[in-house]
């Protein structure tokens, strides 16, 4: 008889192989139709994969649409009592007039976008 020599390498038994389950017809049909939760999850996953530059652009756009753009005070006209009647600011969309909430002229103001010139520019090309 032949002598069999057994060499033990580890005390643990070998791991069983994982078999890939064959997808049934029902499962492949259901994978074709995605639920709303799956679509939301995939949209969030797509957003989270984006680069830092894309996130910065999206954040700047969100701040601009929500709060407006920063403007700095250029000229103002006030009466001796502290009540102002004209404040002119310079910002991204050029010179604009705006009076403060208490008839004052703050140095820095976040003004909402004036959409009409932007829409005209987009229509004209």
Contact 99, 109 (CB under 8 A): no
* Average pLDDT per 10 consecutive residues for the chain, totaling 125 residues: 78 77 62 71 76 80 88 90 87 87 87 85 79
Strands (DSSP E) found in the chain = 69-78, 84-91, 94-97, 108-111
Neighbours of 87 (CB within 10 A): 22
pLDDT value at position 29?
Answer: 60
pLDDT value at position 73?
Answer: 93
pLDDT value at position 104?
Answer: 86
What is the secondary structure of 82-105 as a DSSP string?
A: S-EEEEEEEETTEEEE---TTS--
pLDDT value at position 75?
Answer: 92
pLDDT value at position 85?
Answer: 86
């Amino acid at each position: 008889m032949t002598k069999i020599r057994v060499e033990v390498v580890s005390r643990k038994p070998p791991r069983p192989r994982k078999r890939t389950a064959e997808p049934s017809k029902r499962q492949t049909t259901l994978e074709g139709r995605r639920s709303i939760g799956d679509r939301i999850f995939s949209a969030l996953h797509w957003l989270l994969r984006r680069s830092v530059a894309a996130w910065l652009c999206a954040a700047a756009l969100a701040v601009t649409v929500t709060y407006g753009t920063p403007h700095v005070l250029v000229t103002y006209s006030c009466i001796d009592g502290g009540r102002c009647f004209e404040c002119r600011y310079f910002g991204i969309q050029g010179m604009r007039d705006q009076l403060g909430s208490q008839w004052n002229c703050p140095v820095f103001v976040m003004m909402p976008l004036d959409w009409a010139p932007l829409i005209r520019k987009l229509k004209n090309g």
